[in-house]
Amino acid sequence: MSTTFQLDTATSRANPTPQPMRRLTVPKLRARKQDGVTAEPLVVLTAYTARQAQLLDEHCDLLLVGDSLGQVIYGLPSTVPVTLEMMANHAAAVVRGSYHAVVAVDMPFGSYEGSPQQAFESAAWLMKQSGAAAVKLEGGEVMAETVAFLVQRGIPVIGHVGLTPQAVNVLGGYGARGRTDAEADKIVGDAKALDKAGAFAIVVEGVVEPIAVAVTQAVACPTIGIGASAQCDGQVLVTEDMLGLFERVPRFVKRYENLAETISAAAGHYAKEVRERSFPGPEQTYGSE
């Protein structure tokens, strides 16, 4: 029996409520791809809070606590300033708010690149603090040794190739990757190295579609596309982008709602009623009896 957290309307606090469902596991997600075929694609969205996790959990196979929270939650210019403490706190909230999906957490820039031992210490701390089931790190062949080191010590790893946002200062921007033969060969080689090292899934981001397809066909583990191809073994989007909470969204994002307008309109309605003193009304105030 797993546990989810639902809002108690009397106290506005989260209280555990048992759910008749077992949480998915890393081996089950890895086993979705058999002999190069994934009959049921993996559904992945980002999540940063307990309430967000509650709303997304039943629809997703994996909830990714992405370092994109640096921009989405904290208003930072990139993911580079994100810290281990930020990731641990948000991942713990997502674990508390979910009961079905596997929860994976990004390892932030500077927490794993130095050595496999540094990566293990960071990943172990993240998992202990949050309860997450896996970590994700960026980088291809150069990180293969680190991935193998973590997997051999009981830490499931998601790889990440193509456009790697933590390397934005080296890449010079967020443009699509794989347009040249050399770059395309490197992306496929990076994915193969991560697969061989034991990654149970690989995010393929911002890669021209033929190369995303080539990567998916070249590795045994599932690929999770973002700005890649529908032929990947799964898809991930930043939830706030998908919900239309920002004015600008990348080309590869499909807006399924426009919540920015809804929220702004609701706040405007509230402000109007406060200013005209029509809120709070009798239904929202307490009498003497």
Instruction: State the residue for tokens 């309860």.
Output: 131
Tens-digit pLDDT profile for residues 37-48: 999 999 999 999
Domain count, the chain: 1
- Token duo for residue 255: 């807006």
What residue numbers does the annotated binding site cover? Answer: 67-68, 106, 136, 138
Per-residue pLDDT, averaged over 237-253, amounts to 92
CB 234 within 8 A of CB 223: yes
pLDDT for res 134: 98
Phi-psi region of 49 (alpha: psi -120 to 50; beta: other; left: phi over 0): beta
pLDDT average, residue stretch 14-22: 60
List pLDDT tens digits, range 118-128: 999 999 999 99
Please state the residue numbers annotated as binding site for Mg(2+): 67, 106, 138
More confident residue, 220 or 11: 220
Q: Which of the four pLDDT bands, split at 50, 70 and 90, describes residue 177? A: low
- Amino acid code (one letter) for 23: R
Q: What pLDDT, on the 0 to 100 scale, is given for residue 121?
A: 98
Q: Distance between CA atoms of 137 and 41, rounded to whole angstroms?
A: 21
In sequence order, the β-bridge partners of residue 173 are none
Structure tokens at 96: 């508390």
Please check whether residue 21 lies inside any domain of the structure: yes
Q: Which domain holds residue 190?
A: 2-260
- Mean pLDDT confidence for 203-220: 96
Percent of the chain's residues with pLDDT above 70: 88
Pairing of strands 157-162, 42-46: unpaired
Binding-site residue positions for 3-methyl-2-oxobutanoate: 67-68, 106, 136
pLDDT of residue 222: 98
53: in domain = yes
Q: At residue 5, does pLDDT exceed 60?
A: no
Cis peptide before 18 (omega within 30 of 0): no
| Tens of pLDDT, residues 68-116 | 999 999 999 999 999 999 999 999 999 999 999 999 999 999 999 999 9
Specify if 266 maps to a domain: no
Q: Does residue 180 sit within a domain?
A: yes
Query: What is the DSSP pairing of strand 42-46 with strand 234-237?
Result: parallel
Q: What is the CATH number of the domain that holds 89?
A: 3.20.20.60
Question: What is the residue-averaged pLDDT of the chain?
Answer: 91
Residue 57 lies in a domain: yes
Q: What is the pLDDT of residues 255-280, one digit of tens each?
A: 999 999 999 999 999 999 999 999 99
Question: What does the pLDDT read at residue 1?
Answer: 36
- Domain membership of residue 215 (yes or no) is yes
Tokens representing 242 are 């998908």
| Predicted pLDDT of residue 250 | 82
Q: What are phi and psi of 180, to 5 degrees?
A: -105, 155
pLDDT for residue 145 is more than 50: yes
Work out the average pLDDT over 168-192: 77
Tell me the two tokens of residue 249. 């969204």
The mean-pLDDT minimum among 18-22, 51-55, 81-85, 112-116 falls in 18-22
For residue 287, the SS3 value is coil
Residue 75 main-chain phi, psi, to 5 deg: 70, 25
The three-state secondary structure class of 12 is: coil
pTM: 0.91
Ordered alpha helix ranges (H), the chain: 26-30, 50-57, 69-72, 84-96, 116-130, 144-152, 168-171, 181-197, 209-218, 239-242, 259-275
Residue 130 within a domain: yes
Give the single-character DSSP code of 222. Answer: P
Residue 167, pLDDT > 70, answer no
- Tokens 């529908």, residue located: 230
CA–CA gap between residue 46 and residue 183 (Å, rounded): 28
Asked if residues 225 and 255 have their Cβ atoms less than 8 Å apart, the reply is no
Q: At what angle do helices 144-152 and 181-197 cross, to 10 degrees?
A: 20
- Mark residue 150 as left, alpha or beta (left: phi above 0; alpha: psi -120 to 50; beta: remaining): alpha
Residue with tokens 């998601």: 158
Residues noted as catalytic: 205
The predicted model gives 232-248 an average pLDDT of 96
CB 127 within 8 A of CB 169: no
As a whole number of Å, the CA-based R_g of the chain is 21
pLDDT-derived band at 2 (thresholds 50, 70, 90) equals: very low
In a domain, 33, yes or no: yes
